[in-house]
Structure 1
Amino acid sequence: MAVNRWLTMYRGLAAFLMGSGVLGIGLPGAGHSAAAQAAIATAATAEVLQVRAALHENGADPSATPAAPQRARIVFDLHVPRPGAAQAMNIRPTLSADGRAWTLQLDAPLSARAEAQLRALPRRIPGLQVSLAREGSPSISKVTLRFQKPTALARQFLLPGRGGQQERLVLDFAPNTDPVPAMVAAAQLEAPAPAGMTPPFASSAVQAPQAPNAHIVQLAAPQQPVGAMQPAEPAQSEPGQGEPDQGEPDQGGAEQAPGRARPQAEPADAKPLQQEGDELPPPPSGDSPLNLWGFFEAEGRWFPQDSRDGAPDHLIGSMAMEPTIEYSWKGGSQFLRFTGFARVDTVTENRTHADVREAKYVGVFGPLELTLGVDRRFWGVTEAVHLVNIINQVDTLEDVDFEDYLGQPLISAAYTTRFGTFSAFLMPYFRERLFPTGEDRPNLPVKVNRTLTQYESGDNNWHPDWALRWSLREGPIDLGLSYFSGVSRDPQLLLSFNTQGRPELIPRYNLIDQVGIDLQATLGSWLLKFEGIHRWDPVEDYAAFAAGFEYTFYGVSAGGADLGVLAEYLYDERGKGTPLLPGFPPFSNVSPYDDDIFAGFRWSGNDINSTEILGGAIFDLDTKSKAFVIEASRRLGQNLRISLDGRFFTSVSTRDILWPAGDDDFLQLKLQWHY
């Protein structure tokens, strides 16, 4: 039996290697220039999650013409592994000969959502044309922004990821009425960062010679990394004294009237873009190798109904914290990080728990990234269910949405090439799933006895699991293929009876093999999503998939909010299964989403406080059971974030695995303080 299982695993590994082309990869660095290798290394530390944009009025003197130009602000929200890591990103803005097109080379990959939002920028900034490309590596993104009229990059800076949001790269574009590209190469200077902001990298700016009433243009020297640039401080032109704009009329056909003041650059005393978020303190600059961040949280839950199992409490409060401490060296390419988590609940005893989310060493050596320790990894693209995500065990005590995970001991290596990223994982220790007990809410109608836990493997928790994954971003496609072999994260729950004759459930963890695929295609405002798995399980081999779309309406409000519409179909061929006891649903080897439809929406305010609302419902086409969810969050000032979540279950059938939660609807209010 053991020999057959090892032969099966090796056949799966060989098929994965040959099918994905791993066997054709050369040695590290082969086929890549030094710049490409640097970009690949940077890509391991940063990713563009989303892009936001808005027009801002100039703060000129009230006596100025009402037609004073607007500035365009474009904000890139970045995912980074730690505060300040985005400073390693290289941004290479270059200006076209006609002064209208800016090309940005970002040494970080774009998420599918970010790509869709970039393509939709013309809806926010009239007359703008956007084109996207990749150069040399999937991790190097090239963005070209072509404006109607000559435009200057007025300033560029990073805002730190405080208050529960990502670090942000901010670019401010302003009309430039004197575009003389030949003059731009006249001088170079080091420009300090705006007050309270941190330059993301070494600064090299170019400035034209000053002349009376001249408009100063600060641009990036071509093919050189550019740092944070101070807003231009030109002398202000008096209304009515400017010459007519000699550039092309705008696309609306309204030419500029003779004698009318030409568009002005921002005067020295104007603050059209100085918002509250700009004043956040700078992130760690890299001078200190020891960094600390995290959050404290106060949470309250209200259950409006009586519990089916007799739990008496309707109001439950708790406190939680998640501190992270990190020591880095070699410019942040190597670091040690510890992330802990702890919660103290006032009522539900079992929900008072602690966990090590991360305790790891990470080293980035060109295109190779090594990780050793306890870590969290996420795979997948769909919203309602995460089928391919299998590395970490679910932290079921935190929430019923299966979005929180325990730390997993592992050793991993990821190698990034132009053919994608190839990752391998070895997990020497398995972590059991925790279950609610006593008066916990929500709860199961039958107690789970973890003291009698069974394992198919004779090694119990110490069975060595392993996994492989290949991921690729190519044009509008995000593709991932994975293979896992080891202890199933989903226990088989066996019905038993204790010495008092009461029923109880005993967890049993079987050895499985699973192949998975996740695919996302970005087609304009459409995101097409698919996840599918096939699992070889001693109880029953089965396949499951989730497929759907997200369509985004951009700029649905005056403030530039986005509204996304989501829909997914969920299928699992195991079906509902057989009830363990009369009146009780099956709990073993079944899925709540065997023939279901998910429909929802995502509203993003695109404001400085990162207001977001996600709502949706899952409808079971077989039993007619329904589950509703609402999640809303918003920053309060610099360090606070408030969120309101709701979970509601209606018409839940006793044939459905969600039946125990039928009387445990709840509202959850959280207040987090980030530091």
Structure 2
Amino acid sequence: MASVRIIRPAAALSLALALPAGADTFSLDGFVGIEARNFLTFDGEPRQIYSLTGEIRSGGALTDSLSYDLRLYGRTNLDGLDGSYIDPTIAKLTWQRGNWQIDAGYDLVFWGVAEGRNVVNVINQRDQIRDQFFDQGLGQRMIAVRYFAPSVTVEAFVLPGFEELDFGATGRTWGLGLPVDDSRSTFEASDGADHTDFALRLSGGVGNLEYGIFAFDGTLRQPEFQVDTATNTLIPNYVQGEQIGAEAQYTTGPLLYKFEGVKVWPDSDSTYWSAILGVEYIIGDIIGIPSETSLFAEYYHDSRRDDPSVAFENDIFLGTQFRLSNTFDTEIELGVIIDTDDGDFIGSFNVSSRISDNLRASFEYIYADASDQSDGLFNSRDIDQLFVSLEWYF
């Protein structure tokens, strides 16, 4: 069996796990599950990967102004491949008084309004072992100070270090054309992954408009890659930089207009910007069935048009999400990202539903097709896969 990599300092886990004993009131729940992923086309990939997964969640009040929150996720592969780890996604203390709140520990922060991808979600590293489309985040060490005014929230973040992307077994290509050796990752900062980053954010709402603007200084979460010709592998390199960004969502009836934009100044590379324009339309019950259906259309643009490592530089996302309001909490998602230059695309179909009070099953199919070698999607053409999971909640 693969060795389990604990990707956070154990002291924080010990503190978080000890907190419930002193809490006035606390909750405890979670799940255990089994996953199977079958790669359908690419000979370099392991054709099947089987994993055991689990998560423990707890939270409660310690005093009138102090509380704790814990969300501990872990997985181990059953076939000896790398990719096993434990992640304290959330393990924090929260102090609240009046309009002020301070969080200290590991936390998960989400920014963004778009559905297919997000360019402003820059605080947490992505968990690509768990989710092929980077929807899941890894816990981030932080001290976050927030001030809540009637119509605006001001947030300041101190981020002492971050987690590198985990590329699992070196047999995986992750749509990059070559396997990645993340054991040899390099950093532009002299203190490596322990570099302290900073961020500020202002968010609020005016009428039907919700918005957020931020500034970030530190280690950019998405690495650049250097080719090692001797081993024919890619070596991640994490660079320093500054970025500013904004998000906005305007709601009018069942129609939502969305925007995300970010401009990045890497210390050792050219400035670039990325933006998303989108719309969501929400439909209520269909033919008398209690449900909610959302239709999505988004356009992605990145100024690095000539960089083949940038996958979504001039693309369109089309998708739908169907939620059935029944005892099974059924959700169906269908989405596709299409390159407007040459028609290359990557899409997914996902179904998730409860099959009993405590059991939930999920199925996902991912398919990609690309023929233009200069397109960032070209190396994803052979990652077609089927994914099935079964989770028992307690």
TM-score normalized by the length of structure 1 = 0.53
Asked whether the equivalents of residues 514 and 535 of structure 1 are also in contact (C-alpha less than 8 Å), the reply is yes
State how far apart, in whole Å, the 2-side matches of 1:622 and 1:599 are. 16
**Is residue 249 of structure 2 the alignment partner of residue 516 of structure 1?**
no
Q: CA deviation at 1:444?
A: 4.7
Q: CA deviation at 1:454?
A: 2.2
Q: CA deviation at 1:623?
A: 3.1
Change (3 A) 1:303 1:460: closer
Q: CA deviation at 1:329?
A: 2.4
Change (3 A) 1:431 1:438: closer
Q: Within 5 A, what are the aligned runs for 1:316-395? A: 316-330=49-63, 333-347=65-79, 349-395=81-127
Q: CA deviation at 1:441?
A: 7.3
Partner of 2:259: 530
Q: Cα deviation per residue 1:314-353 (whole Å; 9 max; x = unaligned)?
A: 333211001123342235x522233222111223611222
State how far apart, in whole Å, the 2-side matches of 1:444 and 1:592 are. 10
Larger radius of gyration: 1
Percent identity over the alignment is 29
Taking only aligned residues, the RMSD between alpha carbons, in angstroms, comes to 2.0
State how far apart, in whole Å, the 1-side matches of 2:70 and 2:58 are. 5
After TM superposition, the structure 1 stretch with the greater mean CA deviation from structure 2, 389-398 or 450-459, is: 450-459
Residues matched between the structures, number: 371
Q: CA deviation at 1:488?
A: 0.6
**Is residue 319 of structure 2 the alignment partner of residue 600 of structure 1?**
yes
Q: Cα deviation per residue 1:372-427 (whole Å; 9 max; x = unaligned)?
A: 01111000000111100010111122221001111111000111102311100001
Amino acid aligned to 1:524: G
Contiguous gaps of at least 5 residues in structure 2: 1-22
Change (3 A) 1:596 1:524: same
**Is residue 385 of structure 2 the alignment partner of residue 672 of structure 1?**
no
Asked whether the equivalents of residues 626 and 652 of structure 1 are also in contact (C-alpha less than 8 Å), the reply is no
Q: CA deviation at 1:489?
A: 0.4
State how far apart, in whole Å, the 2-side matches of 1:541 and 1:622 are. 23
State how far apart, in whole Å, the 1-side matches of 2:283 and 2:221 are. 38
**Is residue 157 of structure 2 the alignment partner of residue 428 of structure 1?**
no
Following TM superposition, where does structure 1 have runs of at least 4 consecutive aligned residues deviating by more than 6 angstroms?
none
For residue 487 of structure 1, the aligned residue among 215, 219, 223 is 219
Q: Within 5 A, what are the aligned runs for 1:501-580? A: 501-537=230-266, 538-577=268-307
State how far apart, in whole Å, the 2-side matches of 1:371 and 1:670 are. 33
Change (3 A) 1:563 1:449: closer
Bigger RCO of structures 1 and 2 (CA < 8 A, at least 6 apart): 2
Partner of 2:30: 294
Amino acid aligned to 2:216: F
Partner of 1:466: 198
State how far apart, in whole Å, the 2-side matches of 1:364 and 1:652 are. 54
Q: Cα deviation per residue 1:561-610 (whole Å; 9 max; x = unaligned)?
A: 23222100000010141xxxxxxxx44xxx21100011111212122332
Q: CA deviation at 1:652?
A: 4.6
State how far apart, in whole Å, the 2-side matches of 1:548 and 1:327 are. 38
Please state whether the residue corresponding to 1:447 is helix, strand or coil.
coil
State how far apart, in whole Å, the 1-side matches of 2:283 and 2:51 are. 38
Change (3 A) 1:344 1:462: closer
Please state whether the residue corresponding to 1:351 is helix, strand or coil.
coil
Q: Cα deviation per residue 1:618-675 (whole Å; 9 max; x = unaligned)?
A: 1101232111111221223322222212211013533233333322211211111222
State how far apart, in whole Å, the 1-side matches of 2:43 and 2:306 are. 21
Please state whether the residue corresponding to 2:82 is helix, strand or coil.
helix
State how far apart, in whole Å, the 2-side matches of 1:503 and 1:386 are. 31
State how far apart, in whole Å, the 2-side matches of 1:479 and 1:525 are. 18
State how far apart, in whole Å, the 1-side matches of 2:383 and 2:392 are. 28
